[in-house]
A = this chain, B = another copy of it.
Amino acid sequence: MSEIAPAEPWRIREVGAPDEEDGALLQGESIFALANGHIGMRANLEEPHPGGMPGTFLNSLYEERDLEYPEEGFGFPEVTQTIVNGPNGKRISLEVGGEPFDLRTGEVRRHERVLDLRAGTLVREVEWVSPAGVPVSLRTERLVSFPRPSVAAIRYTVRADARLRVNSDLVVDEDLPPPREDDPRASAILQDPFAPVSHDDDVLIHRTRRSGLLVAAAVTHTGAEGSVTTEPDLIRWTATGEGEITFDKFLAYRWDGALPAPGRDEVLADRDAAARDGFDTLLAEQRAYLDDFWEGADVEVDGDPEIQQAVRFGLFHVLQAGAQAGPHPIPAKGLTGNGYDGHTLWDTESFVLRMLTYTHPGCVGPALRWRHSTLGAARERARQLGMDGAAFPWRTITGPECSGYWPAGTAALHVNADIADAVLRYHAATGDDDFMREAGDEILTDTARLWQSVAYFDDDGTAHIAGVTGPDEYTALMDDNIYTNLMAQRNLRALGPDRLADCLSIPYDKGRGVHEQAAGFTRLPEWDFTAGHEFPLMLHHHYLNLYRKQVVKQADLVLAMVVRGDAFTLEEKRRNFAYYEARTVRDSSLSAPIQAVMAAELGHLSLAHDYLAEAALLDLRRGGESGGDGLHIAACAGAWIALVMGFGGMRDHDGELSFGPRLAPRLRRLAFRLRWRGTRLRITLTRDSVTYAADGDDITFRHEGREVTVRGGEEVTYAVDPIEDVPAPDSPRPPQHHTIAA
Type the 1/0 row for A73-107, where 1 means its CB is closer than 8 Å to any CB of B: 11101001000000000000000000000000000
Type the 1/0 row for A528-548, where 1 means its CB is closer than 8 Å to any CB of B: 000000000011111111011
Q: Which of A112-120, A383-391, A622-630 contacts B (4 or more CB under 8 A)?
A: A383-391
Type the 1/0 row for A666-683, where 1 means its CB is closer than 8 Å to any CB of B: 000000000000000000
Q: With A464-B523, A523-B459 in contact, is A72–B542 under 8 Å at CB?
A: no
In contact, A542 and B410 (Cβ under 8 angstroms): yes
In contact, A520 and B519 (Cβ under 8 angstroms): yes
CB distance from A194 to the nearest CB of B (A): 24
Within 8 Å CB of A74, what residues of B?
A: 538-543
Q: In this assembly, does A525 line the interface, its C-beta being within 8 Å of a C-beta of chain B?
A: yes
Instruction: Give the CA-CA distance A464 to B521 in the complex, in Å.
Output: 13
In contact, B538 and A73 (Cβ under 8 angstroms): yes
15 contacts between A and B (CB under 8 A): A67-B70, A69-B69, A70-B77, A71-B403, A71-B409, A72-B184, A73-B405, A73-B542, A74-B542, A406-B542, A411-B544, A459-B511, A466-B520, A466-B524, A467-B524
Instruction: Give the CA-CA distance A494 to B524 in the complex, in Å.
Output: 26
CB distance from A735 to the nearest CB of B (A): 25
CB distance from A392 to the nearest CB of B (A): 14
Q: In this assembly, does A477 line the interface, its C-beta being within 8 Å of a C-beta of chain B?
A: yes
In contact, A467 and B544 (Cβ under 8 angstroms): yes
Set B405, B464, B468, B548: member contacting A467, Cβ < 8 A = B548
Q: With A74-B541, A540-B74, A541-B386 in contact, is A69–B405 under 8 Å at CB?
A: yes
> Chain A: residues with CB nearer than 8 A to chain B?
67-75, 77, 80, 183-184, 384-387, 403-407, 409-411, 456, 458-459, 464, 466-468, 476-477, 479, 511, 519-520, 523-525, 538-545, 547-548
**Nearest B-chain residue to A386, judged by Cβ:** B545
Instruction: Give the CA-CA distance A539 to B67 in the complex, in Å.
Output: 18
CB distance from A468 to the nearest CB of B (A): 8
Instruction: Give the CA-CA distance A80 to B406 in the complex, in Å.
Output: 22
In contact, B67 and A523 (Cβ under 8 angstroms): no
Within 8 Å CB of A477, what residues of B?
A: 407, 476-477, 547-548
CB distance from A187 to the nearest CB of B (A): 11
CB distance from A318 to the nearest CB of B (A): 26
Within 8 Å CB of A67, what residues of B?
A: 70
What are the 3 tightest A-B residue pairs by CB atom distance, in nearest-first order?
Answer: A70-B404, A467-B548, A386-B545
Within 8 Å CB of A479, what residues of B?
A: 520
Known: A459-B511, A464-B523, A477-B547. 13 other contacts (CB 8 A): A70-B403, A73-B184, A73-B542, A74-B538, A74-B541, A75-B541, A75-B542, A75-B543, A75-B544, A387-B545, A466-B520, A467-B524, A479-B520
Set B406, B540, B544: member contacting A544, Cβ < 8 A = B406
Within 8 Å CB of A69, what residues of B?
A: 69-70, 184, 404-405
Instruction: Give the CA-CA distance A384 to B540 in the complex, in Å.
Output: 9
CB distance from A223 to the nearest CB of B (A): 48
Instruction: Give the CA-CA distance A488 to B6 in the complex, in Å.
Output: 60
Within 8 Å CB of A72, what residues of B?
A: 183-184
CB distance from A269 to the nearest CB of B (A): 41
Within 8 Å CB of A410, what residues of B?
A: 542, 544
Q: With A70-B405, A479-B520 in contact, is A467–B547 under 8 Å at CB?
A: yes
Set B71, B542, B548: member contacting A184, Cβ < 8 A = B71
Within 8 Å CB of A523, what residues of B?
A: 458-459, 464
Instruction: Give the CA-CA distance A545 to B454 in the complex, in Å.
Output: 9
In contact, B73 and A543 (Cβ under 8 angstroms): yes
Instruction: Give the CA-CA distance A404 to B70 in the complex, in Å.
Output: 5
Within 8 Å CB of A542, what residues of B?
A: 73-75, 384-386, 406, 410
Give the interface centre of A69, A386, A468, A545 by most chain B CB atoms within 10 Å.
A386
Instruction: Give the CA-CA distance A539 to B403 in the complex, in Å.
Output: 19
Within 8 Å CB of A543, what residues of B?
A: 73-75, 406
